[in-house]
Structures are given as C-alpha cells and as structure tokens.
C-alpha cells in the first residue's frame, strides 16, 4: 500500500468514468445507512463474516462482529462487515475441501474490490481459516485473523465428551456392537453442545494455532474458548488493532514468509496437529511464493518434540490448553527452534512477544517442556517411495508404533462406493495384518479428496477386537481421527499415480523409520498394468466443479488452483 494510495471510502472507486462523481455517489449511498460525514471520513475496517445457518461452529459470530465493531469505533475507524462464503464442515457435499479455494477467491476478491484499509477475518470451522489466510495473502491488504474459538467439552454420564474424537470413539463402539441404538442417540445429543469449533486438536484448532504462530492473529487468542468472555475481548482488540494497521500498514506478505511458515510447521508438529494443516500451509505458502517441501517437514519433524497433551493424540481438550497457558506456553518452549525475528500483526516480532510473556504461568500436565516432552519427535512424517513418489503423510503420534515397520498384503477398494459396498461384507477376504488400500479419493477423483482416509476396520475384524490396521489412500483424514493411516498419497490414483496400479494380493512395505512406502511389484508387471489403466469415468462437469477439476493441484502443492499461486 503506497502513501499516495486513496484511503477509506475513496479507495478503489466504482468506474463511471468520473472519479469525483463515483466518490460523491458512494458517499451519498453510504449516507443512506445513516452514517455522518465524520464517520465516512474515517479509515474503513472490513469485517469478513463467515456466519451461516449451515455452520454451527460460527453461530456466535453476531456477538463477535459486534465486539470487533466496538474495537474499531473506539479506535477511530469505521467498521463495515460483509458476508463471505461459509464452509460448515459437516454440511457440505462432497466435502468442504472442494470449496476452500472458492471461499479463498471470494475473500480475496471482496477485500480487493471493496474500499477497506484493513480487514478482520472471522473464521473457524476447518477450511474457513485457511481460505481466509489464502485470500488475505493474495489480496495483501492489512488483515487480522480472528478465530471462532473451540467448543467446550460436555460432562456426560461421568466423563467429558467433545467433538470430534469422541464422535469417532463412540461410533467405533457402536459398530463393534458395544453401544446400542439408544445409547448412540444419547451420545449424539451431547458431543457438540456449545458454539465454536471442534473441542480437540482437530483441523480447526490446528489452523487457529497456525494463524497465531504465523503472526496473523493477535497473541494469545488461538485457544480462547468460543463462549469465554476473553473471546469477545480478543474480538474488540482485533478491531482496535485493525485501525492501527490501517494507519501504519503491515501487509500479510510481510508476515507470511518462508521463516514464519517454518515456525507454523514447528507448532503443527509440537501440538500433534492435523494432517490437513500440511495441505493448507502448502497452499498458504504458495500464495506468497514461499518454498514448501515435505522433505523439509521431515527434517523439522525429527527435531521438534510433541509438547501438547490434547486429543486426538492425548487426553485434554482445547479449553484445557487455554487454561494451561494457551499457545504462548507452547511458543515459549519452542523458542530455541523458532525464527524469532518474524513480524506479527501486533507490530512486534515473535521474539519480542515471547520476551514480554516470560514467566507466565503454565500447567505442565497439558503443555510439557522441551526437556520432558510427550514425544521426542514431531507428530507427522512424510513418506516417499515407489507407491508415493511425491509423498504421503502419516500422523505417527495418532498411530500404533507396532504397525510402523512391516510388510502387508493389499486389500484394495477401487472407490468410495466399492469401499461402502464391501468393507462390512462378512465374506470379505481380509485379515488384521493386511493393508487396506483405497483408490480414487484424491483431489481430482471427483470426490475432491474427502476425509475418507480413516477407512473403517471391516466389521468382522472390529467385532473380533481389531482396533487398528494400516490404511493407505490418496484421501485426507479428519484432524480428530487416529490410527495407522497413510494419507495424501501423491500422485493420486485418478491421475494415474502408482496407487492406481495396486491390486489385491500385492505386497506393500511401510517403514516409518526409513520414511518409505513401497509397492513390491516388479517393473514389468507395473508397466503392463499401466498400459491397461484408464482414468475413472466422471460425469461432465460445469461451473465451479469444472474450474476445480481443471485447475486443482496435488496435495503437496496444497490442492490450490494453479492460477492462484504466486508465480
């Protein structure tokens, strides 16, 4: 933003061929909303509101918007909220992932097209925060991310329940016949009982932590529960700070850099965060032209301990992390591993922030020290090999180490329909040591990479007490899920990656120690299968689906659209 650029309502005038007329017309229409000339002369702070009746996680946004407005007004700005697409995780078909880029485009274009000097981004549910960060990075106007905050867990029949690790735990018990229909119905009413995002370290909480680690949210705000009064105070503070940013701009491109992306990856590893965040960070990095590599992820993973004891890998909930000291406690522990010179949206460097917070109280049952971590290595690793030449991801902190070094027989499902039709068939030829393989669930599969990588344990094995198996796919997995699950295999099956060539009975070797995933089939046989391979049949696409299918990139490039990355 240059000093000569018009500010406030004078910014980016509608083109009628007469700039004076355009501004006069804009002011007169703005006055129809009852604003005085004094108010209209103020710096404008946009509030990107992703509330929707189809998004339970954002149901408290009207209160947050009011608090942001209060902050903007008290600092001398003019707050103007505007709606954007909202992505309620469980309300979208085929999957919210398909629409993340659409929301990112909406956010980017509305920030750029409307006259605002800074923007506060209100998001929370899984894909909304990455979409807002991607859009804001590309628009490159001063922006502050304000997240929804997590739900509170619910006390229920002697234990605490929280979406959505417990959703899966109880569903697995129901599938195994250990809870009856009435029981699962009672659980259903008690898993998600407040406003806010999933209560564990799922994708939403991970992306909230990443937004703060990148420096795009105000310090200390990532973990505040949605219903806590501090969340409203964070909203007010974000509005106030946005007015300061309008006067002295710090742009997203100054905050989101190669170094801050590395900081975010360190935090992702230390919190045992969601596998989805790797895709989102790759996409965010691509928007600012910062390098991003899964091999670098492995280097960082080898030197970043897991410090936070939260579900799905640990015991506690996000509200416990807030009470234990919040993300600041994690960042202070990680400080020797972080780039402390990274600038934050608060106007200070990360190092200055952490120095200011030295000595703050920390509950060590929830946030461990570097010297006594929960695990010495990070929660996520990338695997490479003949089955995944461009990489695959395993959340080792949520997996069974007893399954890490082994060879198994592939039991292949060629599509999601095939999986649904056969996985619970009592005659399915499957044993606990087999590797379940799902094909054609990647970005270009027509399903838009759903969170289907958490393949159910075949019912006959589940009933026999089998809790985990090696599962391999080009799909994603919910951040709240757990198991020995290899995801994001790239290139995906639908574009002819080696995953498409696997047949039931093939041997596959997994070695987490060596970071390898190999298909043990001879080259001649693979060449024969490749020449017979045809892409899956898909219905003709139109509109956004066509744009998506034409331009979506593979997982290691963040599943962004090729034309949205910075060249």
Chain contacts with ligand FES (rule: CB under 6 A): 57, 89-90, 125-126, 163-164, 197-198, 202, 204
What is the b/e burial string over 362-399, where b = at least 16 CB atoms within 10 angstroms of the residue's CB?
beeebbbeeeebbbebbbbbbbbbbbbebbbbbbbbbb
Closest of 442, 408, 412 to residue 510, by C-alpha: 408
Q: Residue 13 or 102: which CB sits closer to ligand FES? A: 102
| Minimum gap (Å) between residue 365 Cβ and ligand FES | 25
| Minimum gap (Å) between residue 163 Cβ and ligand FES | 6
Q: Residue 90 or 370: which CB sits closer to ligand FES? A: 90
d(CA 351, CA 330): 13
Q: Residue 118 or 201: which CB sits closer to ligand FES? A: 201
The two most distant CA atoms of the chain are separated, in Å, by 77
Three-state SS at 58: helix
Q: Residue 130 or 446: which CB sits closer to ligand FES? A: 130
Partner residues linked to 503 by β-bridges: none
Q: Residue 198 or 508: which CB sits closer to ligand FES? A: 198
d(CA 353, CA 368): 20
Q: Residue 73 or 163: which CB sits closer to ligand FES? A: 163
| Minimum gap (Å) between residue 448 Cβ and ligand FES | 17
Q: In the chain, what is the straight-line distance between the N-terminal and C-terminal CA atoms, in Å?
A: 20
The pair phi, psi for residue 139, each rounded to 5°, is: -70, -35
Sign (positive or negative) of CA dihedral 415, 418, 423, 429: negative
| Minimum gap (Å) between residue 50 Cβ and ligand FES | 11
Sign (positive or negative) of CA dihedral 500, 504, 509, 515: positive
Q: Residue 272 or 458: which CB sits closer to ligand FES? A: 272
| Minimum gap (Å) between residue 393 Cβ and ligand FES | 20
| Minimum gap (Å) between residue 139 Cβ and ligand FES | 24
| Minimum gap (Å) between residue 217 Cβ and ligand FES | 16
**Three-point CA angle 490, 91, 311, nearest 5°:** 65
Q: Residue 164 or 455: which CB sits closer to ligand FES? A: 164
Structure-block tokens of residue 480? 């709240």
Three-state SS at 315: coil
d(CA 479, CA 373): 21
| Minimum gap (Å) between residue 92 Cβ and ligand FES | 10
Q: Residue 198 or 214: which CB sits closer to ligand FES? A: 198
Q: Residue 163 or 308: which CB sits closer to ligand FES? A: 163
347 half-sphere exposure, CB direction, 13 A CA radius: 11
Is 487 exposed, middle or buried (CB count within 10 Å of its CB: 0-12, 13-18, 19+)? buried
Q: Residue 96 or 238: which CB sits closer to ligand FES? A: 96
CB atoms within 10 A of CB 454: 19
| Minimum gap (Å) between residue 90 Cβ and ligand FES | 5
Closest of 107, 108, 79, 105 to residue 242, by C-alpha: 79
Is residue 558 within 8 Å of 261, Cβ to Cβ?
no
| Minimum gap (Å) between residue 162 Cβ and ligand FES | 10
| Minimum gap (Å) between residue 170 Cβ and ligand FES | 16
H-type alpha helices, 159-317: 165-175, 181-188, 203-214, 229-247, 252-255, 258-270, 276-288, 294-302
d(CA 42, CA 356): 32
């Amino acid at each position: 933003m240059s000093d000569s650029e018009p500010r406030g309502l004078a910014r980016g005038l509608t083109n009628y061929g007469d700039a004076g007329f355009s501004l006069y017309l804009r002011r007169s229409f703005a006055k129809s909303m009852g604003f005085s000339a004094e108010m209209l002369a103020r710096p404008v702070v946009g509030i990107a509101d992703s509330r929707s009746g189809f998004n339970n996680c954002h149901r408290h946004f009207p209160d947050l918007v009011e608090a942001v407005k209060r902050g903007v007004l008290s600092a001398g700005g003019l707050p103007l909220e505007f709606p954007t697409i909202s992505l309620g995780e469980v309300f979208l078909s085929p999957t919210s992932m398909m629409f993340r880029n659409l929301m990112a485009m909406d956010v980017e274009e509305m920030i750029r097209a409307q006259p605002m000097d800074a923007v506060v981004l209100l998001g929370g549910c899984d894909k909304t925060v990455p979409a807002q960060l991607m859009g804001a990075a590309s628009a490159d106007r001063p922006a502050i991310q304000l997240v929804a905050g997590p739900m509170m867990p619910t006390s229920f029949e002697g234990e605490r329940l929280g979406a959505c690790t417990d959703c899966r735990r109880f569903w697995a018990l129901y599938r195994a016949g250990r809870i009856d229909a009435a029981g699962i119905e009672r659980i259903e009413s008690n898993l998600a009982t407040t406003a806010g995002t999933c209560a564990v370290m799922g994708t939403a909480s991970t992306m909230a932590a990443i937004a703060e680690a990148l420096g795009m949210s105000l310090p200390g705000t990532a973990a505040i529960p949605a219903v806590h009064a501090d969340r409203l105070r964070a909203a007010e503070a974000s509005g106030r700070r946005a007015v300061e940013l309008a006067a002295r701009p710090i742009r997203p491109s100054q905050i989101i850099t190669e170094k801050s992306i590395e900081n975010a990856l360190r935090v992702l590893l230390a919190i045992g965060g969601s596998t989805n965040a790797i895709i989102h960070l790759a996409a965010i990095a691509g928007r600012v032209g910062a390098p991003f590599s899964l091999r670098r992820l492995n280097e960082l993973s080898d030197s970043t301990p897991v410090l936070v004891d939260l579900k799905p890998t640990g015991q506690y909930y996000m509200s416990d992390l807030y009470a234990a000291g919040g993300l600041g406690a994690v960042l202070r522990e990680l400080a020797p591993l972080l780039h402390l010179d990274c600038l934050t949206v608060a106007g200070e460097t990360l190092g200055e922030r952490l120095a200011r917070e030295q000595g703050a109280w920390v509950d060590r049952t929830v946030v461990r020290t570097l010297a006594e971590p929960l695990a010495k290595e990070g929660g996520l690793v990338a695997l490479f090999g003949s089955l995944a030449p461009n990489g695959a991801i395993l959340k080792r902190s949520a997996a069974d180490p007893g399954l890490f070094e082994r060879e198994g027989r592939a039991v292949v499902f060629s599509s999601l329909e095939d999986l649904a039709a056969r996985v619970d068939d009592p005659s399915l030829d499957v044993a606990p040591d087999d590797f379940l393989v799902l094909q054609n669930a990647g970005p270009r599969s027509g399903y838009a990479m759903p969170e289907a990588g958490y393949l159910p344990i075949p019912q006959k094995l589940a009933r026999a007490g089998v809790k985990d198996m090696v599962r391999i796919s080009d799909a994603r997995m919910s951040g709240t899920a757990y198991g020995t699950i290899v995801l994001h295999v790239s290139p995906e099956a639908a574009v002819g990656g080696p995953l498409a060539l696997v047949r039931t009975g093939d041997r596959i070797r997994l070695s987490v120690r060596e970071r390898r995933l190999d298909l043990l089939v001879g080259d001649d046989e693979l060449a024969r299968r490749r020449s017979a391979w045809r892409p899956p049949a898909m219905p003709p696409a139109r509109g956004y689906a066509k744009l998506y299918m034409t331009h979506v990139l593979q997982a290691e490039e963040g599943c962004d659209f090729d034309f949205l990355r910075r060249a």
